[in-house]
Structure 1
């Protein structure tokens, strides 16, 4: 891992957002926390301290939204959306494409905020910025795509089914990939003709919200179409209940997703849920062990394991088990851990509560019979890359989504047992199969209950043109990105046209 990126950025740059209320030495004092509603406005609910996970240092103050802010934003968004929806799709696309150009020019700023605010290692932050540009450009391309069908009908009636925007979309985004997981909803929702009220995670409101607002404002998005409201659970509840918000898209834990789905459903809103996962990587007996170990390490430890697609179960044929564990342990001990600005591979977990949760799962699994081969320690919020071997169903490390840098290794005897182990539990988000015989790997993969399947790759894979979502407790059957964007962010309207009204017999 290179230190060049980190060493050139000892402090965060000024974001040219003078009303964000930046604090601490890089900005020379305390400012006021604001919200974004098309303009920077004073928050009525006070401020949120945004802390650097690696040091606990306060990076900035942002406004704390309240339910009343949601109500005002939703009303303003509904008014602004009417004119926006009336624009030609290509005109909306031009704004989204310009936002991509602006965001492209913000690379240094975006990367450093992701490193400082989200605890991202430098290369992960760089990849997230590039993926964000991809999601913006793919959303802009929606303006050139078919948006309806001519239906068969009896002349002279003309019958059309067309995709029309929903109105106002509420986006509730998480902390782990804050920029991408907000933008992948915000950008297509706007491109399809909706307005958006975005609630970023209060731990990552800059990279998950205000940088997006800055890019769209600079791109010429009309005021009122994008609102950024950091806040707590009360803000999310207000989004789910607001009468002017037609849809909620939520990315986060399964427990929180159930609550969001229940509340939004009670208010008859469309809901798109992308939730947790306990994703299996199956390593067959004919796999290249070096490549298998590289894939397993990447899938388990990338961004400290704080990814819904992280490899949560490494299922390896018993003939390769010991070799794989030895290689993973060596990698775990060699990877540098610490402050992302020091050029490390493994940064901090998001907060002390997550550190405690990861450690509790590791220790409980060891107590249940798992073997701790490497790691299992932490320094502040930095949890060492960990290898657990001999993990079996019923142990917390096998059953629970950890969201930490823990490689969970389980041996299997044959393909049938591998499928059984991979399909255990409530989740069904992502899976990978590694083996030299591709036909065999494909056949095995087809038996896995999963929304994403990757043959000869690990589980952390995403592209803006691919529909994203899972089965079971990993979502509600909805998808986001790629062709799914038209499904999620619009609804069908059937229109018939005749030259004159029929003379019905009544």
Structure 2
């Protein structure tokens, strides 16, 4: 049993009301975190505001030196952090350790990129304006709100936190309910690393009770949110700040154009679809191909899926229980509905509480919910199309537009089709994925707004401040 307090102004806040965090593997209580009230939420934002100008006035190298101590602590505590991740979100040990390591690498790369955020120096000569010299530097926006999801409780937290803090902003951080143990541990380590009081504050509680409170606080200058489409839209509707970056859902397609290397294509698709039981916005969530290719591809996919290890994260299983029973019920409903409408389950279709076995569903049509709704779980539909033009129509009809993947030996045709697909990124001969972290990461339509990635994240938390000299 883990028990963590909230962190406000470098003080550990104890509350009588506690929020229980349930371990997906067994559905028992993994630990508790503080359930804050409105007054305490407001104190967190006031602390962030009070600390912001002093933090920004520190030199960049000074901020980096303090934040580097924090990343070093993450590295030292990687095993403890991995155990917490396993306990509250059900990742395997190897995946949990890899997430910690990736987060440390992200922080270090962010610090280096921040050093290259040099001011612009411009003259008016090109416009016939003599005796004018302007400098335009990147300055902090102020106080930020970062809201992270359950599936990557450190990596998708640090992708918001590190860029904001290194550029002189202060933060209030709200982790997802499942992820609050890890998020609270990050706050504890931040205090130990010596971050000044108020620079980084961790607030926890029931989303339905404090969600609107944290997004409507008058101190907020910018928001970075990763989570569901519904909550993302809610934030857009009610947030006091309109400076918002959203990373929402996806229905990422894998378009298989030829049968030149189906073994390789299938291996890529399976890792893309079923890693962390499909609980990723960038997971491959539908395969689109012709009948002729599907007849060859589906048996290969089925054979590989049957070999995936299913079970507990403690045993480093590839397929582990999804985050909670509500999610499992939704995934199961999509599978059963597709069967009623005429789809054919090739393998899977087995459930033990919130553990759903990897399921391959063939002959899914565009009239079925499984063709359009995001399951966020271990199910992969096959949608058969007549030709490539129809594939573009099916892909672009989705309300999501995060990523897509194309598998073919004809790179020229792949590029031609990629230009027609309405998503943030198209991967050719590779699965959809977030990263490398130096790449811009973005979605269109209901998949979000704004751009992430290390350099783009630094831009998103700063604004230009110009000084023009007339001489």
TM-score range, shorter chain: over 0.9
Q: Partner of 1:182 in structure 2?
A: 157
Q: Partner of 1:6 in structure 2?
A: none
Q: Partner of 2:169 in structure 1?
A: 194
Q: CA deviation at 1:498?
A: 4.7
Q: Partner of 1:3 in structure 2?
A: none
Q: Partner of 1:8 in structure 2?
A: none
Aligned residues of 1:433 and 1:441 also touching (Cα < 8 A): yes
Q: Partner of 1:253 in structure 2?
A: 228
Query: Which residue, 344, 348, 357 being the options, matches 2:321?
Result: 348
Whole-Å Cα distance in 1 between the matches of residues 73 and 15 of structure 2? 30
Matches within 5 A, 1:312-327: 312-327=285-300
Whole-Å Cα distance in 2 between the matches of residues 389 and 286 of structure 1? 18
Query: Which residue, 304, 310, 314 being the options, matches 1:337?
Result: 310
Whole-Å Cα distance in 1 between the matches of residues 71 and 453 of structure 2? 16
Whole-Å Cα distance in 2 between the matches of residues 70 and 143 of structure 1? 30
Q: Partner of 1:494 in structure 2?
A: 466
- Structure 1 residues 52 and 288 mapped into 2: Cα distance closer, same or farther (>3 Å)? same
- Structure 1 residues 136 and 190 mapped into 2: Cα distance closer, same or farther (>3 Å)? same
Alignment of 1:60 onto 2:31: yes
CA deviation string 1:107-133 (max 9, x = no partner): 212222222211112332233222212
Query: Which residue, 439, 448, 454 being the options, matches 1:466?
Result: 439
Q: Partner of 1:360 in structure 2?
A: 333
Whole-Å Cα distance in 2 between the matches of residues 109 and 282 of structure 1? 40
- Structure 1 residues 161 and 233 mapped into 2: Cα distance closer, same or farther (>3 Å)? farther
- Structure 1 residues 225 and 345 mapped into 2: Cα distance closer, same or farther (>3 Å)? same
Q: Partner of 1:230 in structure 2?
A: 204
Q: CA deviation at 1:97?
A: 2.6
Alignment of 1:167 onto 2:142: yes
Matches within 5 A, 1:98-247: 98-153=69-124, 154=129, 156-207=131-182, 209-231=183-205, 232-247=207-222
Whole-Å Cα distance in 2 between the matches of residues 287 and 116 of structure 1? 42
Whole-Å Cα distance in 2 between the matches of residues 372 and 143 of structure 1? 50
Query: Which residue, 379, 389, 395 being the options, matches 1:422?
Result: 395
Aligned residues of 1:131 and 1:463 also touching (Cα < 8 A): no
Query: Which residue, 234, 247, 264 being the options, matches 1:274?
Result: 247
Of 120-129 and 38-47, the range deviating more from structure 2: 38-47
Whole-Å Cα distance in 1 between the matches of residues 296 and 16 of structure 2? 55
Matches within 5 A, 1:450-465: 450-465=423-438
Q: Partner of 1:46 in structure 2?
A: 17
TM-score scaled by length of structure 1: 0.88
Whole-Å Cα distance in 2 between the matches of residues 93 and 443 of structure 1? 43
Query: Which residue, 374, 379, 388 being the options, matches 1:406?
Result: 379
SS in 2 for 1:103: helix
Whole-Å Cα distance in 2 between the matches of residues 484 and 461 of structure 1? 14
- Structure 1 residues 40 and 146 mapped into 2: Cα distance closer, same or farther (>3 Å)? closer
Q: CA deviation at 1:45?
A: 6.1
TM-score scaled by length of structure 2: 0.94
Aligned residues of 1:78 and 1:167 also touching (Cα < 8 A): yes
Say what the alpha-carbon RMSD is for the aligned residues: 1.8
Q: CA deviation at 1:156?
A: 4.7
SS in 2 for 1:178: coil
Aligned residues of 2:8 and 2:43 also touching (Cα < 8 A): no
Whole-Å Cα distance in 2 between the matches of residues 381 and 40 of structure 1? 37
Alignment of 1:386 onto 2:384: no
SS in 2 for 1:95: helix
Whole-Å Cα distance in 2 between the matches of residues 162 and 59 of structure 1? 46
Whole-Å Cα distance in 1 between the matches of residues 457 and 45 of structure 2? 22
SS in 1 for 2:453: coil
Matches within 5 A, 1:428-447: 428-447=401-420
Q: CA deviation at 1:497?
A: 3.6
Runs of 4+ in 1 over 4 A off after TM superposition: 154-157
Q: Partner of 2:277 in structure 1?
A: 304
CA deviation string 1:377-397 (max 9, x = no partner): 211111110001001112111
Q: Partner of 1:73 in structure 2?
A: 44
Aligned residues of 2:123 and 2:132 also touching (Cα < 8 A): no
- Structure 1 residues 410 and 287 mapped into 2: Cα distance closer, same or farther (>3 Å)? farther
SS in 1 for 2:448: coil
Whole-Å Cα distance in 2 between the matches of residues 36 and 401 of structure 1? 34
Q: CA deviation at 1:441?
A: 1.8
Whole-Å Cα distance in 2 between the matches of residues 236 and 45 of structure 1? 20
Whole-Å Cα distance in 1 between the matches of residues 384 and 176 of structure 2? 37
Whole-Å Cα distance in 2 between the matches of residues 429 and 240 of structure 1? 24
Aligned residues of 2:10 and 2:196 also touching (Cα < 8 A): no
SS in 2 for 1:423: helix
Alignment of 1:85 onto 2:56: yes
Q: CA deviation at 1:323?
A: 2.4
Whole-Å Cα distance in 2 between the matches of residues 220 and 74 of structure 1? 19
